[in-house]
Amino acid sequence: MLCGHPRPRRSLALTPTIHSDGLPLPQRRWAMLAIAVAVTMAVLDSAVANIALPAIARQLGVAPAASVWVVNAYQLAIVVLLLPLATLGERIGYRRVYIGGLVLFTLGSLACAMSGSLAALIAARVAQGLGAAGIMAVNGALVRFTYPQKSLGHGVGLNALVVSVAGAVGPTVASGILAVGPWQWLFAVNVPIGVANIVFAARVLPWSTLSDKALDWRSAGLSALAFGLFFIGADTLTHGAPALLGALEVATGVLAGAVLVLRERHDARPLIPIDLLRIPVFALSTLTSICSFAAYTLAFIALPFWFQAALHRDQVQTGLLMTPWPVGVGLVAPLAGRLADRVPAAILGTAGLLVLACGLWLMSRLPADASTTSILWRMGLCGLGFGFFQAPNNRTMLGSAPRERAGAAGGMLATARLTGMTVGASLTALVFHTVPNDGEHLCLLIGVGIALAGAAVSASRLRHGVRAMA
C-alpha cells in the first residue's frame, strides 16, 4: 500500500509540482542540476583523497599504510549503507534522504578540513561517506521521478555522464587544488558548494510516493555486515595480510548475506531487492553492470603503470593519455541514453562492451615504441564503448523495476557499480602481487575477457524482447 507524499508548505517559484510521469520543463532541468552537483561532489571525493595521501601522511606523521584508511573509510561507509538508505527512501521520500545525505556530506567535509589527527580525519571521512551513501542510494530513483518514461534514457545518460566524468577528472582536480593550497582545501571546497546545493535541492527536487512499511533494522544491519565484511575481506586477501583472516571475513560476510536472503525471501519489499532480481532483464542488467565496471577498473588502475613501465611515459604524459577515455564517455553517453528510449539495451549494451573489449585488446598489443596518436585513439575507443554501454544499461535497470521500487533499483544500480569496481581493484592487486613483472599486460587481457563475458550476458537479454525496453 502506498500513501500520498507530504505537500510542500508553501509555493516557491522553483518548487516542482507533483506529476505522475516526471517533471515538466524547466523544473526538470533545475532538478537534474541539483542531482548532478551532489553526485559530482560525492564521486569526486572518492578520487581526490588518493592524490592527497602522501601529503596527509607527512603532515599528520603517520605511515603511508595507515593513511590508506582515509580512502577505505569513505568507500566502506558508502558500500554498507547503499541498500538500507535506498529502502529508507521508499519509506520517507527520496528527496529527504538525498538532502539529508547532502547535509551530512557537507558537515563531514568541514570536519575533514578541520581534522588535526588521523583518527579525527578517518571519523570525518566516515561521516562524509554516510552522506555520500545517501546521495548515491537514491540518485537513480530521483532521476526516474524527474524524467518522464519516454525520455528516461536521456536523463540516465546525463547522469551516467556526470558519474563517469567526475570519477575520471578527480585526480586532475585534486592535482590542481594541491598545486595552490594544502590538502585541507580538497575538503573545504565542498562546504560552500554543498550549502548552496542544499538550499537549491530543497526547492527543486521531485516528491515521490511513500511506502507505509517500516524499515527492518535487523535486515539493514545484516546488509551492512554482509557487504562490509565481504569488501574488507577482499581487501585483506589482496594486500598481503594474513590469508586466513581475509578468508574468515569474506566467509562471514557471505554467511550474513545468506541469512539476509533467507530472512527476506518472502517479503514483498525486501531490503535486498530479491523481487527485482526475479525480473530476468533486471538481474541480467545487474550482472552486466558488475562485469563492465570490473573491466573498467582493471584497465584504469593498470594503464598508468602500463604507460610508464612498458611505454616509457612520464607522469604528466600519463595523465594526458588517460584523458580520451572520459572524453569518449562524455561524447557518447547522452546519445546512447537517447537511443535507449527506442533501441533495446541488449543491443546497445552488447555493442558497447564489444567495442570496450576491442579497445582493451588493441591497447594490450601496443609495442614499446608506440606513438602518442596510437595510444590516444585506442583510449578513445575504450571510452566510446564504455559510454555506449553504461547509459542504456542503467536505463534498463531503472525502467524495468516498478516505479514504486525505483529506490531499490537505484540502490542496486549503485551497488552493482561499486561491486564491479571492488572486484576489478581486487583482481588488479592480486595480479600485481603474483605477476610483478608483466602484471599490467595481464590485467588488460583479463579486462578483455570480463568485457566479453559482460557482452555475452548483455546479449542474453534479447530473448526477453521488448521487456528489455521497459
Residue 61 sits in a domain whose CATH number is 1.20.1250.20
Co-location of 37 and 139 in the same domain = yes
Split into its structural domains, the chain has a count of 3
Q: Examine the domain organization and report whether 179 and 240 are in the same domain.
A: no
Count CB atoms within 10 A of the CB of residue 386: 28
179, 199, 215: which is the final residue of a domain? 215
CA 129 to chain centre: 13
Q: Which pLDDT value is given to residue 270?
A: 74
Out of 266, 297, 332, a domain closes at 266
Examine residue 327 and state whether it is found in any structural domain, yes or no: yes
Same domain as 65, residue 186: yes
Q: What is the pLDDT of residue 11?
A: 38
Residue 249 lies in a domain: yes
Q: Are residues 221 and 181 in the same domain?
A: no
Same domain, 210 and 223: no
Same domain, yes or no: 442 and 361:
yes
| Closest by CA position to 40, among listed 155, 136, 109, 104 | 136
Same domain for 260 and 307, yes or no, is no
Residue 12 resides in a domain: no
> Rounded to the nearest 5°, which phi and psi values hold at 368?
-65, -25
Closest to 302 measured CA to CA, from 290, 310, 292: 310
237 shares a domain with 327: no
Are residues 202 and 64 both part of a single domain? yes
Residues 319 and 399 in one domain: yes
pLDDT at site 466: 43
Residue 7 lies in a domain: no
> What local confidence, expressed as pLDDT, does residue 165 receive?
75
Instruction: Tell whether 321 is covered by a domain.
Output: yes
Domain span including residue 460 = 272-470
The type of residue at 213 is: K
Neighbours of 9 (CB within 10 A): 7
Q: Which of 183, 199, 215 is the last residue of a domain?
A: 215
User: At a CB cut-off of 8 Å and minimum separation 6, what does 392 contact?
Assistant: 153, 336, 337, 339, 340, 343, 345, 348, 349, 352
Inside any domain, residue 3: no
Are both 154 and 276 inside the same structural domain? no
Cβ neighbours around 255 below 10 Å, total: 14
pLDDT of residue 88: 84
Which parts of the chain have pLDDT scores under 70? Answer: 1-21, 50, 64-65, 168, 171, 209-215, 238-241, 268, 315-316, 464-470
Angle, vertex CA 71, rays to CA 56 and CA 43, nearest 5: 115
Are 436 and 409 contained in the same domain?
yes
pLDDT value, residue 215: 67
> Looking at the domain assignment, is residue 241 inside a domain?
yes
